[in-house]
Amino acid sequence: MKRRTLIASAPATALVAATARAAAPTRVVLWHAMGGALGDKLQSIVDAFNKSQPDFAVDAVYKGSYPQVLTATIAAWRAGKAPSIAQVFDVGTADMLGAGRAVVDVYKLAEMTGVAIEPSTYIPAVRGYYSLNDGKMGAAPFNSSTALMWINEDAFEKAGLDPKAPLATWDDVIKAARAIKAKGAAEIPVMTSWPTWVHFEQFAAIHNVEYATLNDGFGGPNPKLRLDSHPFVRNLDTLLTMQKDGLFHYEGRDGKPSPIFYSGKAAITFDSSSIYGQLVKSAKFRFANAYLPYHQSIIKSPTNSIIGGAAFWAMTAPGRDKAEYEAVARFFKFISEPQNDAGWAEATGYVPVTLAGNDYIAKQGFYAKQPGGDLAVKQLTRTEPTKYSRGIRLGGMPEVRVIIEEEWESAIQSGTPAHKALARAQQRSQAVVDRFARALHG
């Protein structure tokens, strides 16, 4: 009897499946900030997802820079037309976690749709950055990188330095910079991209230094910044003194200074691990990467660095149905699969965000082909994240970054000592953080 029913119903089941396949897939929109080659690669991942199953389709739309995507997403949400998925940059994380019913946290998305997204799949430093204080995930990590020190080996040899000798501490860096300047081996001995990300946020992480109270903002709504505390002053003072001595050149904000290093004018720079591909393409000199240097007076053995980059957030909109959320969840799951994660990382220079993705890359022998290619992951995972090396969870972080850059720039121009510049930065930034807390909690 049972068997007969089964046989009888078989054609019917096949028919249902066939109609489902023929019906148009549930389409969801993704807004991102990946221009150029990165955008092409993202599109190919989206295409692969759309081909991998018949029920869901993602439409990826390039919306401009990170801030533009965030602003457009917020405006669209207020108009009831938010995209299903928005790519939001690292410093927008607190704003998104504070966005209440505008956003569906990834753990809720998993509960709602039954698509399991396991936090333990992700590299701890990546997971921590996008998690709530209790370890539940808010966003789906995607493009992540970390900061490294990059070395122009030709310039080092010209200065009579051994490019293979490690520059572990700032004292080592200063010594090398002196030699480079004395020999005129490079126009710029030391420079940096992303001044605040590298020399404040990454600095705090690897030195296990408190950036803000309440576990760098993870633990509560109104943290107090610690920008004027001793370690930050010590670090900025080092950089300002080096600038005065002509050893360090401040070359501008964000990623704008990067081309200077590509052109070979500088001997040492600090930049994202993701510039590797660009360097391979355009550098006419031999280069290498190294861990970020540390101050021995602050820490004996540095902790893990934190990530930068962006993650995908699931957005709500009136009338959005369960199938659409399921599409989002399935897409998040898809990009976290080892071969997809690895493919993205290998093509772009971002780090793999999952542990399995990292193993996959290592097994393929990719790291053996690209010396130093695994340094970023090693630096991210060299210790278990502490409460100060998990990430920074502060509202208004984009503005805080600009404030620090402004105060740093005016200190260079007017010769203000580091402690005064940081006292001002602290005061102005705290006002921003307070305003965020007030707006959020009334």
Among the listed residues 405, 422, 429, 433, the single contact to other proteins using CB under 8 A = 405
Among the listed residues 28, 30, 34, 74, the single contact to other proteins using CB under 8 A = 74
Q: Which range binds other proteins by CB under 8 A, 119-127, 220-228, 253-261, 277-285?
A: 253-261
| Cα–Cα distance list, 115 to 26, 175, 312 (Å) | 16, 54, 16
Q: Which range binds other proteins by CB under 8 A, 25-33, 69-77, 149-157, 337-345?
A: 69-77
CA dist., res. 32 & res. 68, Å (int): 10
Helix, strand, or coil (residue 150): strand
The smaller minimum CB distance to other proteins, of residues 59 and 409, is found at 409
- The answer to whether the Cα torsion of 293, 299, 301, 306 is positive or negative is negative
Q: Is 78 near other proteins (CB under 8 A)?
A: yes
Q: Is 415 near other proteins (CB under 8 A)?
A: no
CA dist., res. 281 & res. 259, Å (int): 12
> How close are the terminal C-alpha atoms of the chain, in Å?
66
Say if CB 180 and CB 246 are below 8 A apart: no
Q: Which of residues 377-396 bind other proteins (CB under 8 A)?
A: 396
Backbone angles phi, psi at 134, to 5 degrees: -90, 10
The distance of closest approach from Cβ of residue 74 to other proteins in the complex, given in angstroms and rounded to an integer, is: 5
Structure tokens at 51: 């081909």
The distance of closest approach from Cβ of residue 250 to other proteins in the complex, given in angstroms and rounded to an integer, is: 6
Q: Is 420 near other proteins (CB under 8 A)?
A: no
| Cα–Cα distance list, 124 to 309, 378, 386 (Å) | 16, 12, 11
Q: Is 256 near other proteins (CB under 8 A)?
A: yes
CA dist., res. 322 & res. 325, Å (int): 5
Helix, strand, or coil (residue 313): strand
Say if CB 136 and CB 261 are below 8 A apart: no
Among the listed residues 172, 288, 410, 419, the single contact to other proteins using CB under 8 A = 410
Say if CB 130 and CB 87 are below 8 A apart: no
Residue type, 75: A
The distance of closest approach from Cβ of residue 35 to other proteins in the complex, given in angstroms and rounded to an integer, is: 17
The smaller minimum CB distance to other proteins, of residues 11 and 100, is found at 100
Q: Is 399 near other proteins (CB under 8 A)?
A: yes
The distance of closest approach from Cβ of residue 347 to other proteins in the complex, given in angstroms and rounded to an integer, is: 28
Q: Is 434 near other proteins (CB under 8 A)?
A: no
Q: Is 222 near other proteins (CB under 8 A)?
A: no
Residues near other proteins (CB under 8 A), total: 41
The distance of closest approach from Cβ of residue 306 to other proteins in the complex, given in angstroms and rounded to an integer, is: 22
User: Could you give the angle at which helices 170-183 and 230-244 cross, rounded to 10 degrees?
Assistant: 10
Q: Which of residues 181-200 bind other proteins (CB under 8 A)?
A: none
The smaller minimum CB distance to other proteins, of residues 4 and 101, is found at 101
CA dist., res. 267 & res. 163, Å (int): 10
Q: Is 398 near other proteins (CB under 8 A)?
A: yes
The smaller minimum CB distance to other proteins, of residues 64 and 166, is found at 64
The distance of closest approach from Cβ of residue 251 to other proteins in the complex, given in angstroms and rounded to an integer, is: 7
How many C-beta neighbours within 10 Å does residue 370 have?
A: 16
Q: Is 55 near other proteins (CB under 8 A)?
A: no
Structure tokens at 124: 């701890």
Nearest to 85 by CA among 442, 380, 299, 329: 329
For residues 85 to 104, the per-residue mask of contacts with other proteins, x marking binding by CB under 8 A and - elsewhere, is ----------x--xxxxx--
Q: CB neighbours of 371 closer than 8 A, spacing ≥ 6?
A: 288
Residues that bind other proteins (CB under 8 A): 67, 70-71, 74, 77-78, 95, 98-102, 250-253, 256, 259-260, 263, 265, 396, 398-399, 402, 405-407, 409-410, 412-413, 428, 432, 435-436, 438-442
